[in-house]
Chain A
Amino acid sequence: MERKLPKKLNFVLTLLFILFVAFLLYLANEKLDEYVLRVVRLIAIYGVMAVSLNLINGITGIFSLGHAGFILVGAYTSALLTLSPEQKMMSFIIEPIVPWLANVHTDFLTATLAGGALSALFAFLIGWPILRLSGDYLAIASLGFAEVIRIFALNAISITNGPLGLKGIPEYSNIWWCYGWLFVTVIFVASLVNSSYGRALKAIREDRVAAEVMGINVFKHQLISFVVGAFFAGVSGALYAHWLTTIDPRVTTLGPMLTFYVLIMIVLGGLGSISGSLIGAALFAILFEWLRDLEEPFVLFGMRVPGIKGMRTLVISVIFILVMIFWQRGIMGREELTWNNIYRWLKRRGESG
């Protein structure tokens, strides 16, 4: 039997919850120190990355490894738009910046939207060849395309400043932009998932051939999912760039490593669950920050051990492997944290207790 809360109550609870979170964020913004606040903001940025990848991988079942490519497009596009003409002139020292980019200067919202849009356009273009492939081939091709973007960023010096990257990006990603975009992302993706389209996407994940035979144009639906996911990945890239303030095309910043991190978040949270993605993103951000100490020199049994760079990535990877082996469904599985589910769960506990 399906137990459900009245629609109105559901709506009121959600509204109260949002207000409560907004209040908490306000308090955090006022009281917490800058170091902690940076992590709080990063949680939201990771959240946007995770929810968007989850739409592609978890909901639609497209095993894409190209997320960092979309994030990179969003990061560079937005940064090039918010950097002032003088800054751009000064930092492009290897080769001068191309004239059509030198003088454009926009506000943060426009830059973010432009980053998302360009990323979506890019997904639309590479979606045509990539989505014709399946399974492992698709994974490898998407990883390849993301690398192509990164190599482009490394070599198109007059557009991206090449290996030097972009510095002095204004730190616009405050708590309200980060959580505002996270809110928009979650609402949009959740609304998509809870619609006729969302059911079609899940059907494709469950059984591609059966979905086709049910009249679903699988390619078109996968493309929609891919493009929407890429848009929000681009947005997250814009937020990330204006959080980092310095971006460059190294493997570890906006390369395969980042895709890997986002993948950890969604698998840890539960592939296919939006709330899982959020939990995964928060856990990852906190854990990764906490593990930073591993890379500092520390004293073990009276001996001074020098900090080992990359140590926390190693630890995170081991955790990831353990999760994959022993706990494949992650924290949430494919369930969502909705009021209805909480209500049902409480009720069941009440009945059995």
Chain B
Amino acid sequence: MTSPTLDLSRKPILILDQVTMQFGGLVAVDDFTAEIRQGELVGLIGPNGAGKTTVFNLITGIYHPTKGKIVFDGIDITPLKPHQITHLGIARTFQNIRLFSDMTVLENVLVAQHHKFTNPDADRILKINGKSAKRVANFWFWRSVLKVGYLKFEKEMVSKAKELIEKLGLSKFMHEKASALPYGDQRKLEIARALATDPKLLLLDEPAAGMNPKETEDLMRFVERIREEFDLTIFLIEHDMKVVMGICERIIVMDYGRIIAEGTPKEIQNNPKVIEAYLGREWEGV
């Protein structure tokens, strides 16, 4: 593998500007400022409770920051709702898997495509038979209920979903309920579902949680692969530093809601603050 390098020439796709999130008296994220550049694979590490998941919840609009600003692709997304942020091209997975458990693998992926039809601003995403998504979105509800010119789109959606499921190696579970999948495959399905929304930026929250070293290694290769294949920028949370050392170009280290270090894996490994945190506190997986 080529050693990851920091390329400052790429333009930032996500900017977090002095973002703070307070839950009552608890400051879960404190004055968080960071940039993710186009095409980068950035790791966010830190002990449990550091505020990593909260950062993702802020980016995806599940929470709105008490202070600060979040800009994605030149658009201020701070006040936007989760579905609007997804429309703009951010997708994520959850630390505690949140699949639609009573629906099949295929249905889970299909759900992620639904917004392309209902969102009138989705021109960039979908063009079927030369018709823009805007025209599809009009009366989409009536079309889908009365099945007027709908089945063609449904077919298109299904074939796209199947293709994606195949790519991720989940074909044999196509019509299985999501809850019936082995743990590791559930994690993969979450990634498949996120990819189906057609993101530019993918946020992965501890994708290797609960996996053994071999599975973790496979997953990291897998992340690298989809990054190439889908031309993604990836922001990845992990509490085990060793896992991300190999694949991330840049790592942000969080503790108690604050960024305590940032840099290439090498820099992070030698950073006295990080070392101190390692020695002074118990880190899982280290």
Say yes or no: A191-B145 contact (C-beta < 8 A), given A196-B117, A206-B103, A214-B114: yes
> B109-124, CB under 8 A of A: which get 1 and which 0?
0111111111100000
B150 is an interface residue with CB less than 8 A from chain A: yes
**Cβ-defined partner of A210 (8 Å) among B98, B118, B150, B157:** B98
B100 & A2 in contact (Cβ 8 Å cutoff): no
> B96-107, CB under 8 A of A: which get 1 and which 0?
001111110001
A159 is an interface residue with CB less than 8 A from chain B: no
Provide the residues of chain B in CB contact with A191, threshold 8 Å: 145-147
B174 is an interface residue with CB less than 8 A from chain A: yes
Most buried by A among B82, B86, B87, B197: B82
B81 is an interface residue with CB less than 8 A from chain A: yes
Say yes or no: A199-B102 contact (C-beta < 8 A), given A188-B145, A216-B83: no
A213 & B62 in contact (Cβ 8 Å cutoff): yes
> B186-228, CB under 8 A of A: which get 1 and which 0?
0000000100010000000000000000000000000000000
CA distance A98 to B47 in the complex (A): 70
CA distance A340 to B254 in the complex (A): 53
Say yes or no: A217-B62 contact (C-beta < 8 A), given A195-B150, A207-B98, A212-B81: no
Provide the residues of chain A in CB contact with B64, threshold 8 Å: none
A6 is an interface residue with CB less than 8 A from chain B: no
A207 & B83 in contact (Cβ 8 Å cutoff): no
B60 is an interface residue with CB less than 8 A from chain A: yes
Provide the residues of chain A in CB contact with B7, threshold 8 Å: none
A311 is an interface residue with CB less than 8 A from chain B: no
Provide the residues of chain B in CB contact with A200, threshold 8 Å: 111, 114, 118
Residue of A nearest to B119 (CB): A215
A320 is an interface residue with CB less than 8 A from chain B: no
Residue of A nearest to B143 (CB): A195
Interface majority SS on A: helix, strand, loop or mixed?
Answer: helix
B141 & A224 in contact (Cβ 8 Å cutoff): yes
> B221-260, CB under 8 A of A: which get 1 and which 0?
0000000000000000000000000000000000000000
**Cβ-defined partner of A207 (8 Å) among B60, B99, B146:** B99
B154 is an interface residue with CB less than 8 A from chain A: yes
Min Cβ gap B199→A in Å is: 10
A195 & B154 in contact (Cβ 8 Å cutoff): yes
Q: Interface extent on A, as a size class?
A: 20 to 34
Provide the residues of chain A in CB contact with B110, threshold 8 Å: 196, 199
> B72-105, CB under 8 A of A: which get 1 and which 0?
0000000001110011000110100011111100
A212 & B82 in contact (Cβ 8 Å cutoff): yes
Most buried by B among A196, A211, A216, A224: A196
Residue of A nearest to B151 (CB): A195
A250 is an interface residue with CB less than 8 A from chain B: no
B66 is an interface residue with CB less than 8 A from chain A: no
Provide the residues of chain B in CB contact with A130, threshold 8 Å: none
Residue of A nearest to B172 (CB): A1
CA distance A197 to B150 in the complex (A): 11
B266 is an interface residue with CB less than 8 A from chain A: no
A215 & B144 in contact (Cβ 8 Å cutoff): no
A334 & B154 in contact (Cβ 8 Å cutoff): no
B175 is an interface residue with CB less than 8 A from chain A: yes
CA distance A202 to B104 in the complex (A): 11
A209 & B175 in contact (Cβ 8 Å cutoff): no
A196 & B145 in contact (Cβ 8 Å cutoff): no
CA distance A191 to B142 in the complex (A): 10
Provide the residues of chain A in CB contact with B114, threshold 8 Å: 196-197, 199-200, 214-216
> B140-168, CB under 8 A of A: which get 1 and which 0?
11001111001001100100000000000
Provide the residues of chain A in CB contact with B115, threshold 8 Å: 214-217
| Given A191-B145, A202-B107; 12 other pairs, CB 8 A cutoff | A195-B150, A196-B114, A207-B99, A207-B101, A209-B98, A210-B94, A211-B100, A211-B111, A212-B82, A214-B115, A215-B115, A216-B111
7 residue pairs A–B, Cβ–Cβ below 8 Å: A196-B150, A200-B111, A202-B102, A203-B100, A213-B83, A216-B83, A216-B115
